[in-house]
Amino acid sequence: MPPFDMIIRGGRVATASDTVTCDVGIRDGRVAALGRDLGTADDVIDAKGRLVLPGGIDSHVHFAQPSGPGIVMADDFESGTRSAAHGGNTLVMPFCCQEKGQSLRAALKDYHAKAAGKSYIDTSFHLVISDPTPQVLGQELPALVDDGYTSFKVFMTYEGLALNDMQLLEVFSVARETGALVMVHAENYDAIRFLTTRLEASQRTAPKYHATSRPIAVEREATHRAISLAQLVDVPVMIVHVSNGEAMEQIRWAQSKGLKVFGETCPQYLVLTEADLDGLNMEGAKYVCSPPPRDKQSQADCWRGLETGVFQVFSSDHCPFRYDDPAGKLIPKGRTSFRWVPNGIPGVETRLPILFSEGVVKGRITLNQFVALSSTNHAKMYGLHPRKGTIAVGCDADIAIWDPARTARIAAADLHQGSDYTPYEGLEVTGWPVTTIVRGRCVVRDGRLVGAMTHGQHLARDRSPYAVPARQGGLQVG
């Protein structure tokens, strides 16, 4: 029997810290050896001229999420994980969203049923807490953190999701006591409602006014407030989908004070602007997401946040709806305002090519930073490292093989997602993942889907090493 099931031969292997040319030997789904001339295997992949990178981890995606009456998300687990695999990802982290009145266990049961047997790549769920009842805070959440759901998201805006400051503090406090990490959607709910009402009253209802209704100040204020509330409770927080320099500077300020505040940004804040929402008819709806894309200065500021380490993770915030569809971006008749356009854009397949091309190829970040931002830091932040997020002996063989010279013009017709459009249509990129390997098995090989929908596993996670250790007994005040 050959010593390895698979050898990836002669590629440039890069991790978050090193780049070496060597073979990767894989056995039983794990990396078994790194070296030269590893001998024979049942399957040998020639990777000369290619990059061999840890598979992408996208710690912020939405699949099959209930999205309001009459609205249907464009990706279920099958199409979402297929699209992710074609984009060089080996693990995604979607959100299991609690509905008001629902128990977290019931929400998880439903969400697992949607994923079971329908995932090409591995998954691990975050929880969204929309109804922090005493039962949820006192019993369910602590038990679920112990079960490996070690991160949860809270919203400061959205009807049905927004938590007030008291509720935020209560959730933060449970995170502090259990050693969990809280992700925060930071936008000021009342300010958005006020601006939306004013805009609608003056017939400014086109999709572009979505951006006007949630300007930078709305995000900056909520970001600072989330940080201050987290400081009161001494809990680590991840501010997700940061869109601009003013919000980013709140995070940098907190970090300079030694607070455990982390940041995430996304492709839409690097390559789109508010002007994209100003399309003919409803075309601008293709770009409606929250926070909205801003301006050139904000793009430069988000790059600075990536380059200088204010942001630890770069995620897609893939939240897909179809465009040409009343169950998607073309809202049903009678609903005439941007207020009704579902928030979110697709991007799980294009996240890595955009960061590679705009970041590594254009010299803004190194290849090792790329690996950290797209994979390793996600695994570390969310309690999956070292099993995931790197290439080292003993880790899961989750690998993306890239053709760094392949040029492409992004087109929805070439993608493998459920949505009928991409907000990045026409963007030229250099570098594309050609083969994606999950626990030693090819899911995509030379651009063709070869994996099984049953291969993906859901993973329980350790507590984040960045979370403070669990402290029973509640908040020490005074």
Which phi and psi angles does 185 have, rounded to 5°?
-90, 110
**Closest CB to ligand DUC among 153 and 439?**
153
Q: What part of residues 19-58 is at the interface with ligand DUC (CB under 6 A)?
A: none
Q: How far is the CB of 289 from ligand DUC (least distance, A)?
A: 6
Return the residue of 79, 98, 290, 376 that touches ligand DUC, per CB under 6 A.
290
**Closest CB to Zn ion among 5 and 58?**
58
How many C-beta neighbours within 10 Å does residue 20 have?
13
Contact window for Zn ion (CB under 5 A) among 181-189, 262-270, 387-395, 428-436: 181-189
* Nearest to 65, CA basis, from 96, 101, 104, 93: 96
Return the residue of 185, 208, 329, 463 that touches Zn ion, per CB under 5 A.
185
- Rounded Cα distance between 243 and 267, Å, is 10
Q: What part of residues 308-347 is at the interface with ligand DUC (CB under 6 A)?
A: 317, 319, 343-344
Under the binding rule (CB under 5 A), the answer on residue 75 touching Zn ion is no
Which of ligand DUC, Zn ion, none has residue 205 at its interface (CB below 5 to 8 Å by kind)?
Answer: none
Q: What part of residues 78-137 is at the interface with ligand DUC (CB under 6 A)?
A: none
Which of ligand DUC, Zn ion, none has residue 339 at its interface (CB below 5 to 8 Å by kind)?
Answer: none
Q: How far is the CB of 252 from ligand DUC (least distance, A)?
A: 21
Kindly determine how many residues on this chain lie close enough to bind Zn ion according to the rule CB under 5 A: 2
Is residue 154 within 8 A of residue 211, CB to CB? The reply is: no
Contact window for Zn ion (CB under 5 A) among 17-25, 72-80, 136-144, 184-192: 184-192
Which of Zn ion, ligand DUC, none has residue 26 at its interface (CB below 5 to 8 Å by kind)?
Answer: none
**Closest CB to Zn ion among 75 and 317?**
317
Q: What part of residues 154-173 is at the interface with ligand DUC (CB under 6 A)?
A: none
Which of ligand DUC, Zn ion, none has residue 104 at its interface (CB below 5 to 8 Å by kind)?
Answer: none
- Rounded Cα distance between 459 and 125, Å, is 8
Total number of residues shown for the chain: 478
Q: How far is the CB of 265 from Zn ion (least distance, A)?
A: 12
Task: Draw the binding track, 133-162, toward Zn ion (x: CB under 5 A; -: no contact).
Answer: ------------------------------
Which of Zn ion, ligand DUC, none has residue 210 at its interface (CB below 5 to 8 Å by kind)?
Answer: none
**Closest CB to Zn ion among 238 and 372?**
238
Q: How far is the CB of 126 from Zn ion (least distance, A)?
A: 10
Q: What part of residues 217-246 is at the interface with ligand DUC (CB under 6 A)?
A: 240-241
Q: How far is the CB of 319 from ligand DUC (least distance, A)?
A: 4
Q: How far is the CB of 269 from Zn ion (least distance, A)?
A: 13
Under the binding rule (CB under 5 A), the answer on residue 317 touching Zn ion is yes
Is residue 423 within 8 A of residue 347, CB to CB? The reply is: yes
Which of ligand DUC, Zn ion, none has residue 140 at its interface (CB below 5 to 8 Å by kind)?
Answer: none
Is residue 214 within 8 A of residue 199, CB to CB? The reply is: no
**Closest CB to Zn ion among 15 and 213?**
213
Which of Zn ion, ligand DUC, none has residue 343 at its interface (CB below 5 to 8 Å by kind)?
Answer: ligand DUC
* Nearest to 32, CA basis, from 394, 436, 387: 394
**Closest CB to ligand DUC among 31 and 289?**
289
**Closest CB to Zn ion among 94 and 305?**
94
**Closest CB to ligand DUC among 68 and 465?**
68
Q: How far is the CB of 244 from ligand DUC (least distance, A)?
A: 15
Structure tokens that stand for 7 in this block: 């050898």
**Closest CB to ligand DUC among 86 and 241?**
241
- In SS3 terms, the chain reads as CCCEEEEEEEEEEECCCCEEEEEEEEECCEEEEEECCCCCEEEEEECCCCEEEECEEEEEECCCCCCCCCCCCCCCHHHHHHHHHHCCEEEEEEEEECCCCCCHHHHHHHHHHHHCCCCCCEECCEEECCCCCHHHHHHHHHHHHHCCCCEEEEECCCCCCECCHHHHHHHHHHHHHHCCEEEEECCCHHHHHHHHHHHHHCCCCCCCHHHHCCCHHHHHHHHHHHHHHHHHHCCCEEECCCCCHHHHHHHHHHHHCCCCEEEEECCHHHHCCHHHHCCCCCHHHHHCCCCCCCCHHHHHHHHHHHHCCCCCEECCCECCCCCCCCCCCCCCCCCCCHHHCCCCECCCCCHHHHHHHHHHHCCCCCHHHHHHHHHHHHHHHCCCCCCCCCCCCCCECCEEEEEEEEEEECCHHHCCCCCCCCCCCCCEEEEEEEEEEECCEEEEECCEECCCCCCCCECCCCCCCCCCCCCCCCCCCC
**Closest CB to ligand DUC among 185 and 208?**
185
The site for ligand DUC (CB under 6 A) is made up of 62, 185, 240-241, 289-290, 317, 319, 343-344
The site for Zn ion (CB under 5 A) is made up of 185, 317
